[in-house]
Amino acid sequence: MRAYADNDYPADHKPDWKVISGLWPYLAEFRGRVVLALAFLIISKLATVATPVALKYIVDYLDQNRGGEVLLWIPVLLVVAYGLLRFGSTLFSELRDAVFARVAERAMRRVSLRVFEHLHNRELAFHLDRKTGGLARDIERGTNGISFLLRFTLFNIVPTLLEILLVAGILFVVFNVGYVLAILVAVVVYVVFSIKVTEWRTRFVREANARDNQSNSRAVDSLLNYETVKYFNNERFEAELYDRDLDEWEQARLKNRLSLVALNSGQAFIIGLAMIVIMAMAVREVAMGEITLGDFTMINAYLLQLFIPLNALGFVYREIRQALVNVERLFGLLGDEPAIEDAPDAKALIVDRGEVRFEHVHFAYRQDRQILRDVNFSIPAGHTVAVVGASGAGKSTLARLLFRFYDVDQGSITIDGQDIRNVTQDSLRAAIGVVPQDTVLFNDTLYRNLAYGRPGASEEEVYRAARMAHLDAFIQSLPDGYETQVGERGLKLSGGEKQRVAIARVILKDPPVLILDEATSSLDSLSEQAILGALKEVSRQRTSLVIAHRLSTTRDADTILVMDGGRIVESGNHSALLAREGHYAHLWAQQHRSGDDDNGEA
């Protein structure tokens, strides 16, 4: 099943009713509750169908004894029975809902967790292509749709059909086949009309959903980029774009509303016509003395009792179609397998020394854009290898491949001789610590963001990591200290402060392999020197891959690799590469002239 992107959801796509079968595992978890709920449902419907019968006997007794001696206890007893049947119908209906509530709520919880875990298992490319706002709406509508399908399929459509069969049976036995035929014709016409019109208007519902996703994604994206909007005075521009999306959503919703008017009007006409025909038949038979006044009352009660839920059935069918659309889309997210998966026989990575090797690695994000070409190098255990080069040379791609955000197209990457494609992703990523170029923090306290590196760490371990990352003085200067809220994406902190949080996290994680992806790119020269000292301490006795833009961060590396056009064109230490007067020497001189690097002897 394909999961559609935010704006390619076809309006004429028909939902797959087999989606309902996918709900069975959630029902199977509470089989006893489901059976008990169905038992209460049947008892409730039997009480509902018996209620007009009690009303018939009340009316007949009073009519037949009008003007004569009336034994008051008989109609009182019948009235009590009528009231008890009414109460029983409601009571068992409520008991049914109470028993089934745990099933529906647990199903929503289970599927929400499954989707959440699945989305975290998806490859990086999936998340780069998706819009968070639209994805959140899909999950919200899908989980609500599951609850709706479970409740209304079992407790509205099934009971209504059961009630139609019971009423038809009673009318057939007590009266004549004419009433049964009239009701069945009315039901068939009503159902066919409802299905046809609902199928027609489903496209408007889908379009409204797509426009809702689009406008919500626009709003979330704009608010997340609040500072950028302000930098360019583009509040009006963003508002106009958002309003344009809202206008499309408004038009789609208007079409949806107008089509709903047509559906409701048609359904009301069919029910009204059926009531006229059947009641006319009953009036004629009462006038001819063929049925009693109580029979007439019972027929009228049955019609009201039947057509009210049938009218609701039209609403429920519309909503079930919409719920199917939402659940299908949610299951579509679950149906797409992650591009990066553990091998069937994958074992946990065992890190003895921590030697990393790239062997004849080729990689492309797209077939028409090759990124890496026959890349070969190794990082001996405990050594630091820095990779430099112009933007687009493929430096950060090395880090993404080592962390297995992507798999190589050709060649292999090994850690202590173990191909990373043959070990579990969980064990691989547990062994690697990453300080990214752009650190994004959770909208939580500073302490919780630091402790995220190892959630089970003690407070003293968290404080120690902060000290090693040279964060303690900054934190002590804050009024709320470690309990300071960092804001959405950590926007209340400076770039350098966020970078130190990232470094503290890695210190807390304490992995044998480090990836430093331009880890000091957000720091000024003074802060950079302080952080470099911390990174040296962290990197000691660890295998480190350093992706660098500032060459000042590479001078102490054991080996420097220079990349150009997806290939390694030079390698050696800082002094040797300068003496070679090649690519590295050119980059060094260029940064020296532009002032990007601190002055220092080669």
What is the full DSSP assignment across 175-234? S-HHHHHHHHHHHHHHHHHHHHHHHHHHHHHHHHHHHHHHHHHHHHHHHHTHHHHHHTT-
- Do strands 356-366 and 432-435 pair parallel, antiparallel, or not at all (unpaired)? unpaired
> Which amino acid is located at 457 in the chain?
A
Residue 153 sits at the vertex; the CA angle it makes with 25 and 199, to the nearest 5 degrees, is: 115
Closest CA to 166 of 276, 41, 260: 41
Residues pairing with 544 in the sheet: 384, 514
Angle at the Cα of 438 (from 437 to 441), degrees rounded to 5?
135
Structure-token pair, residue 600: 């220092």
- pLDDT tens by residue, 381-401: 989 999 998 887 888 899 999
* Cα 395-396-399 angle, rounded to 5 deg: 105
pTM exceeding 0.75 = no
Q: Where in the chain is the domain with CATH 1.20.1560.10?
A: 17-335
Asked whether the beta carbons of 154 and 33 are under 8 A apart, the reply is: no
Report pLDDT for 527. Answer: 64
CATH number of 440-510: 3.40.50.300
Spell out, as residue ranges, where the chain has pLDDT lower than 70: 1-22, 26, 66-71, 123-134, 153-154, 227, 309, 311-315, 318, 335, 488-491, 519-531, 534, 594-602
513-517 and 543-547 beta bridge pairing: parallel
Residues with Cβ within 8 Å of residue 256, at least 6 apart in sequence: 201, 204, 205, 207, 208
- Give the pLDDT confidence score for residue 291 in this predicted structure: 82
526-564 per-position pLDDT tens digit: 666 666 776 777 777 789 999 887 787 788 888 999 999
User: Which residue from 184, 20, 186, 168 is spatially nearest to 107, judged by alpha carbons?
Assistant: 20
CATH 3.40.50.300 segments of the chain: 342-431+511-602, 440-510
CA of residue 43 relative to chain centroid, distance: 38
Distance CA 40, CA 504 (A): 58
Contact assessment for residue 349 and residue 523, using Cβ atoms and an 8 Å cutoff: no
- Output the pLDDT for position 568: 92
Report how far residue 111's alpha carbon sits from residue 326's, in angstroms, rounded to the nearest whole number.
Answer: 13
CATH superfamily of domain region 342-431+511-602: P-loop containing nucleotide triphosphate hydrolases (3.40.50.300)
Instruction: Write down the pLDDT at residue 486.
Output: 83
Angle between helices 132-152 and 293-335 (to 10 degrees): 140
17-335 belongs to CATH 1.20.1560.10: yes
pLDDT given at position 410: 93
160-178 tens-digit pLDDT: 778 778 888 888 888 888 8
3-class SS of residue 108: helix
Encoded amino acid at 173, one letter: V
Q: Please answer whether residues 543 and 512 qualify as being in contact, where contact means their C-beta atoms are separated by less than 8 angstroms.
A: yes
